[in-house]
Amino acid sequence: MSDTAKPTVGLFATCLVDLMRPVVGFAAVKLLEDAGCRVDVPVAQTCCGQPAYNSGDKTDAQDIAKSVIETFEGFDYVVAPSGSCAGMIKDHYPEAFEDDTEWRPRAQALAAKTYELMSFLADVRGVTSTGAAFEGTVTYHDSCSGLRELGIKDQPRALLSTVSGLHISEGKETETCCGFGGLFCVKYPDISEKMVDAKVDDIVATGADTVLAGDLGCLMNIAGRLQRRGLSIKARHAAEVLAGMSAAPAIGEPADEE
């Protein structure tokens, strides 16, 4: 396919990936390019505005949303390696501009072409396998927004099941919130701890050596708790595994001395 015939994808890296875990961004770029897309990562992006929106600061959330809309509306698709940020754009931008006749249609138009990474690969680009390899038993945590706002459940599992060497061991409570909740986890640390402990127990019970998910927020929460409890189970974004970039240190792990 000539480059001009390829659909353009604006990668919304998400603030957490940008700041905390670049490898997820690179994995996303690779997966999207392999799926026949032309990928750009606009420098003008910051954050989707979720912390403001979920804290009731609607005005700031709207302002941030406007800048995301302006930055990304020229692409054929907008893809984020996060169900929660994609859900923010897809579900909550139109809702945030409910009463704004100028911005609502623009928010809706952007929402219509915005996807979470793995559902985009599977549902829009028809990717069935990414040709990656990973030795180990993994378990998958369904992040709340991805699962309940965007219906992401089968897509990551279908893609992961084709990774050679990878075995999936399902938890009993994969659909239960890990207790992250953005600012919730610092505002209500005791409840959050109780929730993430339940999540960690469920992960431990699967016997997996790695927990995967599609959202870095949840993953940092789970990884942080695993490490605080002295458990050796690793946490990674599923895109890293799908893109064959799992030689990178797992979340919160030191870089290998080479």
Partner 1 sequence: MQPTTPNFKQNARDAIANDPLQAALGKLAVGFPMRRLEAAARLPEFENLRDQARDIKTHVLENLDYYLEAYEQKVVESGGHVHWCRDAEEARETILEICQKAGAKTVTKSKSMISEEIAVNKYLEENGIEPVETDLGEYIIQLRKEPPSHIIAPAIHLSKEQVAETFRNAHIDLAADRDLDEPRSLLEEARAKLREKFLGADVGLTGANMLIAETGTNVLVTNEGNADLTNNLPRVHVVIASIEKIVPTLEDASTILRVLARSATGQDISVYTTFCTGPRRPEDLDGPEEYHVVLLDNGRSEMIGSEFHEMLRCIRCGACLNHCPIYKSVGGHAYGWVYSGPMGAVLIPNLIGMEEAQHLPNASTLCGKCESVCPMRIPLPKMLRKWRERQFRAHTGAPSARWALRGWAWLAKRPGLYRWAMNVGVAVLGQFGGRGRFRSLPLASGWTSKRDLAAPAGDTFINQFHKGARGDQSGALMRKKVH
Smallest distance, partner 1 to C-beta of residue 240, A = 8
Burial of 126 (0-12, 13-18, 19+ CB in 10 A): exposed
Smallest distance, partner 1 to C-beta of residue 15, A = 8
Which of 14, 155 has the CB closer to partner 1? Answer: 14
Smallest distance, partner 1 to C-beta of residue 199, A = 9
Smallest distance, partner 1 to C-beta of residue 197, A = 9
In which residue are the tokens 């690793």 written? 234
Which of 63, 135 has the CB closer to partner 1? Answer: 63
Give Cα separations from 82 to 120, 127, 201, 237, 252 (angstroms).
11, 18, 24, 9, 19
Separation of alpha carbons 240 and 250, rounded Å: 10
Which of 5, 43 has the CB closer to partner 1? Answer: 43
Which of 65, 138 has the CB closer to partner 1? Answer: 65
Smallest distance, partner 1 to C-beta of residue 195, A = 5
The percent of the chain in helix, strand and coil, each rounded to the nearest 5, is 50, 15, 35
Which of 1, 44 has the CB closer to partner 1? Answer: 44
Sign of CA dihedral 26, 50, 36, 237: positive
H or E element in which residue 106 lies: helix 103-112
